[in-house]
Amino acid sequence: MPPETPAADPTSAIAAIIGVIALIAVFGFVLLIVGRARNLRRVMKSRPTMPMFDADLPPSRPQERPERSTEFRLATLDNLMMQGKITADEYKEARAKVLGDV
Domain membership of residue 63 (yes or no) is: no
Contacts of 80 (CB under 8 A, 6+ apart): 86, 91
Domain membership of residue 80 (yes or no) is: yes
Q: Do residues 75 and 47 share a domain?
A: no
How many domains does the chain fold into?
2
pLDDT by residue for the chain (102 residues), tens only, comes to 556 665 667 788 899 999 999 999 999 999 999 999 999 888 878 765 665 666 656 667 776 777 788 899 999 999 999 999 999 999 999 999 988 875
Note the pLDDT of residue 55. 63
Domain membership of residue 88 (yes or no) is: yes
One-letter identity of residue 32: L
Q: Which domain holds residue 28?
A: 12-52
Query: Contact at 8 Å (CB) between 94 and 87?
Result: no
